Structure 1
Amino acid sequence: MIEECYIPAEDETISPTRGGIINVEEAAFLSLGYPLEEQEPETRGKRRPEGTIRVYDDYAGTFVPVKGVKIRCHRFIKWSTTFTDESGHYTMDSKFRFGPHYAIVFDNRKGFDIWGNWGPIARANLNMGWHSNRGHSRDINAGSFAWDWAAVNNATYDYYKMCEETGIAKPPRNLKIWVFKRWTTSSTPMLRRIVHPIGYNGNSSWKNFFINIGYGTLATVLNQMLKKVLPDITIGTGGHSYRKVYDVVNHELSHASHFSQVGSAHWAKYISYIMTYGSYGNGTGKNAELCGIGEMWGYSMGHIRAYEKYNPSGLLDDYPDVHTWLKPHVFWDLQRDKVLTKKQIYDCLVVGVDTYDRLVAKMYEKYPEKADEIEKAFTDNGITPNVPKPDTGDLTHDAFYTNKTVSSSFVFSGNNILTRNVTVTNSAKLTFRANKSVTINSPFTINQGAQLEITCGN
């Protein structure tokens, strides 16, 4: 039998038959045998608990705030939650007359949660015990119970913020990250999101082929059965420094953003390649270059994000790692030399871009004025594109106006102007003033009410 529970309003009082007016909450505690003397006299008034949560960055040698994480306070039937801000500070929404029990729940305000001690049953959490109603602060040291979760939380929070600032798509909503403290490897299987069959790649070995069919069928069936408990991302933190965790998390989250753009069918091929050929294989076999492109993005983004955090002066001349056949060096060079931004590269990682030539073709299509520099980044790193460069005619263009949305009147001047992928809107007037010529490549859109003016010659 479940008894009805009465939850009093804030500061609700009663008038007993004998004695003066008393607080309902105090009366309830007294009736259960909990002494009120456990509270210090100055804390007996109702207060909103507050505090600061920090984690130790063993690479920088300092404590840093734990960002956007949920803080939970409860006192028997009374519960309250809030989130830390970017400085790691929190203030509870509800007041407590008596000291509550405090916990950190790794459910982040950005829209992701971290699994750990409770596996797929519930989010990772750190019970901090009963403390004063004034609040409680906690520093999480390296090697302590919740350090791995806090480090992963912060790296993920920063990645989501980067997406908001750059326009790169965030990972899918309600992302689930499972942290394994003894593992050293990580992955982004996105198993909860895939609806296409997994594991039918056709390795050249017949033995592997039949094993793969059996495992692929099992993986597909289990995938459909266990969607609610399967992780999107697994992170192994074993032996990693805070900086290494930051790198690994950004690597895997960049894959999740890639998934947001290409979807289930593409990702099923990606997982199938890894499952069939063992990790990354040797660069041969069905969908090898599809995998190669994904890892170019993942590895480069992990290192670049770590360098942006710890070495804001710029990227190294050479990519700081070596891989067998994967070529993250290409994307590193494109960003280091300011040829393309992270967002511009990401915009090329679309459905159908599953070979190096198709990747280069997409880059040429979107950024024709950068074709020579794009080609150089690939050839310098051992990939020779077999893709014709954009045809810009016989003119030598020295002024480029591409990938723009013009919402207020603007004048662009140059000698030989090349323009492409431009939209003029909001009654704006776009004016090109060229000494010699203006070449317009599609797409080029002039919305109703907007204007285009071209003048050539002195």
Structure 2
Amino acid sequence: MDILKVDSTLVLYDYPLDYSIAENGSYYKDPETAPEQPTYQYCAVTIDKKLPNGVEYEVLEELFIPDEDKDTITKTAKANTKFISEEIINTLVDEALRITNNLNNKTSKSTNLAKSSASKWRPAGTIKVWDNVVGDFVPVEGVKVRARRWFTTHTGIASASGRYSCNGRFRRDANYSIDWERYEFALQDGWLNGATYNGPKKRGDWNLNLNSGKQEYYATIFSAAHFYYYGSRMGLKSPPTNATFKTKMKIAARLERDESSHIHQRRFILSAPIYIKTYGRESQAVFGTTIHELAHAAHWNFDRDAYNNLGAGGYVLQKDGDKRTLET
């Protein structure tokens, strides 16, 4: 999994892309995979795409995907050169959906025809989370929103105002979702599962205000991690970064109220080095604790041997002195 995450061009999903989402959730676990193994990852790639070395893969299907974002040329621009008209492409796509039972059967044929010839639209919106200290919704800067229709995904990253606009357009409805991660870090829901938010299937803007439950929790932890990695650290050392022969920082967002921690050795058992256990606490406590544990990761990155010795003494051998030194 870590090898795949090094390639930022791969848009990975933990469920097959030709499946419909019957019920929204925060992650999916393939029932055929063992509990201690990560679930299969699915992705649509160009035919000439080279996957990272060491990744086993299976080609499930070869696809022809018309470019929905680019206006099709309908007039001959050069003598003896022919172009497929936009109307023909739309008709072929509709027929492919019909024969695979994926055309919306709840609407009339004329309605589906109108949708196929409808103007293109760009997925966009605003993502915010409730801050109970400020007493208002605040932007979730840096969150990457995905809009997917079948095997085509367009993405957009929220600005400082929480506003995002995806890098492509569709003609029909698209499935919105959020994967609570960026290139340098990723939140986990449970032991191995990535934390996600599966939004609606719709045409038009998706605006989201998170004000309760674990998705609010994820958004606050994400905001803190994004600030530490991509904001102004004022010269402080960075936590471990994602690169070849390195691993993306995993942050387990535990739905508990207990002692949070950073123990780098957890990664050797496929677990997250950082556990955040501030579920249900005020947003400033969740944000601050995440910063605190990332600072531990930065300290480990600065002097690994000393940190590992203190961590083993404080958390494995339960030596209060080592634990106090580590926490200061």
User: Shift in Å at residue 43 of structure 1?
Assistant: 9.6
Distance 1:189 1:67 in 2: 27
Distance 1:38 1:88 in 2: 33
Q: Select the residue among 207, 230, 236 that pairs with 1:137.
A: 207
Q: Report if the CA contact (8 A) 2:66-2:89 is conserved.
A: no
User: Shift in Å at residue 61 of structure 1?
Assistant: 0.9
Residues 161/70 of structure 1: CA separation in 2 closer, same or farther (3 Å cut): closer
**One-letter code of the match for 1:82?**
G
Give runs of aligned pairs for residues 314-393 of structure 1, distance below 5 A: none
Q: Select the residue among 140, 144, 156 that pairs with 1:66.
A: 140
SS at match of 1:154: helix
Tell whether 2:127 aligns with 1:57: no
Structure number having the greater strand percentage = 1
User: Shift in Å at residue 237 of structure 1?
Assistant: 2.0
Residues 190/154 of structure 1: CA separation in 2 closer, same or farther (3 Å cut): same
**One-letter code of the match for 2:222?**
N
User: Shift in Å at residue 60 of structure 1?
Assistant: 1.4
Query: Which residue of structure 2 lines up, in the alignment, with residue 248 of structure 1?
Result: 289
SS at match of 1:252: helix
Residues 48/104 of structure 1: CA separation in 2 closer, same or farther (3 Å cut): same
Residues 191/40 of structure 1: CA separation in 2 closer, same or farther (3 Å cut): farther
**One-letter code of the match for 2:189?**
G
Q: Report if the CA contact (8 A) 1:13-1:22 is conserved.
A: no
**One-letter code of the match for 1:149?**
Y
Distance 1:13 1:242 in 2: 51
What TM-score do you get using the length of structure 1 for normalisation? 0.49
Which structure would you say has the larger Rg? 1
Query: Which residue of structure 2 lines up, in the alignment, with residue 294 of structure 1?
Result: 326
Q: Report if the CA contact (8 A) 2:310-2:325 is conserved.
A: no
Q: Report if the CA contact (8 A) 1:191-1:231 is conserved.
A: no
**One-letter code of the match for 2:187?**
I
Give runs of aligned pairs for residues 176-187 of structure 1, distance below 5 A: 176-187=250-261
Structure number having the greater helix percentage = 1
Q: Select the residue among 220, 224, 234 that pairs with 1:166.
A: 234
Q: Deviations over 1:95-153 (max 9, x none)?
A: 111110111110125x2111115x314x2001012111x22111111x32411110101
Q: Deviations over 1:315-358 (max 9, x none)?
A: xxxxxxxxxxxxxxxxxxxxxxxxxxxxxxxxxxxxxxxxxxxx
Distance 2:218 2:179 in 1: 10
User: Shift in Å at residue 66 of structure 1?
Assistant: 1.1
SS at match of 2:145: strand
Query: Which residue of structure 2 lines up, in the alignment, with residue 271 of structure 1?
Result: 311
**One-letter code of the match for 1:139?**
N
Distance 1:151 1:41 in 2: 38
**One-letter code of the match for 2:64?**
Y
Paired positions, count: 244
Distance 1:39 1:61 in 2: 47
Query: Which residue of structure 2 lines up, in the alignment, with residue 116 of structure 1?
Result: 189
Q: Report if the CA contact (8 A) 1:53-1:89 is conserved.
A: yes
Query: Which residue of structure 2 lines up, in the alignment, with residue 238 of structure 1?
Result: 279
SS at match of 1:153: helix
Q: Deviations over 1:406-433 (max 9, x none)?
A: xxxxxxxxxxxxxxxxxxxxxxxxxxxx
Query: Which residue of structure 2 lines up, in the alignment, with residue 127 of structure 1?
Result: 198
SS at match of 2:265: coil
Tell whether 2:231 aligns with 1:191: no
Unaligned runs of 5+ in 1: 194-222, 297-458
User: Shift in Å at residue 87 of structure 1?
Assistant: 1.8
Distance 2:126 2:158 in 1: 8
Percentage identity across paired residues of the two chains: 27
User: Shift in Å at residue 52 of structure 1?
Assistant: 0.6
Distance 1:43 1:137 in 2: 26
Residues 68/130 of structure 1: CA separation in 2 closer, same or farther (3 Å cut): same
Higher relative contact order (CA 8 A, sep 6+): 2
Tell whether 2:69 aligns with 1:7: no
Give runs of aligned pairs for residues 407-426 of structure 1, distance below 5 A: none
Distance 2:173 2:139 in 1: 24
Tell whether 2:131 aligns with 1:99: no
User: Shift in Å at residue 13 of structure 1?
Assistant: 8.8
Unaligned runs of 5+ in 2: 1-58, 75-81, 242-247
